[in-house]
Chain A
Amino acid sequence: MTVARFWRRLKNLYNLIGTHCEKCGEYHYPPRNLCPKCRRSSRTVPFKFKGLGEVVTYTIIHSSTKDFEKQTPYILAIIKLNEGPHLTSQVICDHKDIHIGMKVRSAFRKLGEESDKGMLYYGTKFVPLVRG
């Protein structure tokens, strides 16, 4: 990731900002200009997700691209947010604890760094929900 690209995406990495269609009530992540259901008659507004959801499925990555190789092995999961949308994210937990249906919450974590003198990238990952 370049500094410029990170900076443009920063707001969406720090918080789960998507859209909500006021016509049909659907939530979208990532944000959409047009609601896929209502198309031309959609009324979408920005929406900040609470960050609560559950694991739909997951895989453990042992060999990754260069950006993530310091973090292997790590868990990559599809998470269904309580509001509806699905997204792919790292889940930070003991590998023996991860399971389908696990309740998770979003957390602010370090995503990586350019180099030992480069920029630090921060954003959203998921962790087990300890508090109900």
Chain B
Amino acid sequence: MKSGIVSYGAYIPRYRIKIEEIAKVWGDNPNSIIDGLMVYEKSVPDMDEDTITIAVEAARNAVNRANVNPEKIGAVFTGSESHPYAVKPTSTIVAEAIGATPNLTAADFEFACKAGTAAMQACVGMTESDMIELGLAIGADVSQGAPGDALEYTAAAGGVAYIIGKENILAKIESTYSFTTDTPDFWRREGKPYPEHGGRFTGEPGYFKHVTSAARGLMERMGTKPSDYKYAIFHQPNGKFPTRVAKMLGFSGEQIKPGLVVSRLGNTYSGSCMMGLAATLDIAKPGDRIFMTAFGSGAGSDAFSFSVTDRIDETRNGAPSVEELLANPIYVDYATYAKHKGKIKL
């Protein structure tokens, strides 16, 4: 393939809540939760932030990083499970806000936590076939967990945008492969505010089966092995799952370390894996190879193999790094958090 990442941008709200603060409200033992999830704190959106504003901020950072002319963007796809409108695309608002309208196609994607990587694959197909010059793929969410549900400890807010094209790429997409089945591990019905899940048993047939199948499938097709890669990123609903799946596949702790942002960020759902990739690109050097596998409940996994080019150094300082976005958080208590997340109806 000739296509690759031309630019990328991330966005994380300034607010955080500590796991201890949530545990206090529900009478849970914070240490056992922190140990079990490997998550210490999670991001909280401001009251006037939602998936649309987060997607726009991430997209603007992507446009600015490599000085991309937004009029050359021929497709905008936003993956999320928390689009503010049930009918009315997020992607048209993003396209207008970055100045990409009107000569483009746009649509919103939904596939639990992997809608953003599915959007990346669609952009790759469209640039490879010369339908468009540049495509913008976004993964953004302001995830919700029902008060008191285990998901509340990790459901976070954030977004990441990737501009895909064939020229001036900072990382080549060597190949991509997906593994998809009908597995009811997690869902949310239309009109309901919080998701439901199949509980603890769903990790094996859901996350682990799909991530390992997609990852092995891609390496088999390409004839690569874990040691060929400098870094690896796996979907991170918590810290435990990606750490365990990396080990199962033969990747080391060192390989996944730069991309494992979940401990300080929480699970940004559609942004999760893509945020890990952004954090890894922030420190990657020309020639480094990066392996990534996203997971979405329902269920499916998208695996990617990237190779970083010399262009990475020129675009390094064009937009805030994930590390900069994680720095200087403002901590909130549970009452403020509940107000920000709309759990208390104003």
Residues on A facing B (Cβ under 8 Å): 10-11, 14-15, 48, 70-71, 92, 94, 107-111, 120, 122, 125, 130-131
Check B320–A11 contact: CB distance below 8 A.
no
| A14 and B101 alpha carbons, distance in the complex (Å) | 13
| A124 and B290 alpha carbons, distance in the complex (Å) | 36
Instruction: Tell me which of A70, A92, A107, A130 contacts B57 (CB under 8 A).
Output: A107
Q: Say if the beta carbon of B286 comes within 8 Å of chain A.
A: no
Chain B residue nearest in CB terms to A131: B320
A-B contact pairs, 24 of them (CB 8 A): A10-B96, A11-B96, A14-B96, A15-B97, A15-B99, A48-B99, A70-B346, A71-B47, A71-B48, A92-B46, A107-B57, A108-B56, A108-B57, A109-B48, A110-B48, A111-B48, A120-B52, A120-B85, A122-B97, A125-B48, A130-B324, A130-B328, A131-B320, A131-B324
Chain B residue nearest in CB terms to A106: B60
| A10 and B95 alpha carbons, distance in the complex (Å) | 12
> How close is A40's CB to chain B, nearest CB, in angstroms?
31
Chain B residue nearest in CB terms to A113: B84
Residues of chain B with a CB closer than 8 A to A11's CB: 96
Q: Say if the beta carbon of B310 comes within 8 Å of chain A.
A: no
Q: Say if the beta carbon of B35 comes within 8 Å of chain A.
A: no
What are the nearest 7 A-B pairs in CB distance?
A: A108-B56, A110-B48, A109-B48, A14-B97, A70-B346, A108-B53, A109-B53
Chain A residue nearest in CB terms to B319: A131
Residues of chain A with a CB closer than 8 A to B335's CB: none
Residues of chain B with a CB closer than 8 A to A131's CB: 320, 324
Check A110–B53 contact: CB distance below 8 A.
yes
Check A122–B93 contact: CB distance below 8 A.
yes
Residues of chain A with a CB closer than 8 A to B330's CB: 94
Chain A residue nearest in CB terms to B50: A110
Given contacts A120-B84, A122-B93, A131-B324, contact A108 B46 (CB under 8 A): no
Check A92–B97 contact: CB distance below 8 A.
no
Check A108–B47 contact: CB distance below 8 A.
no
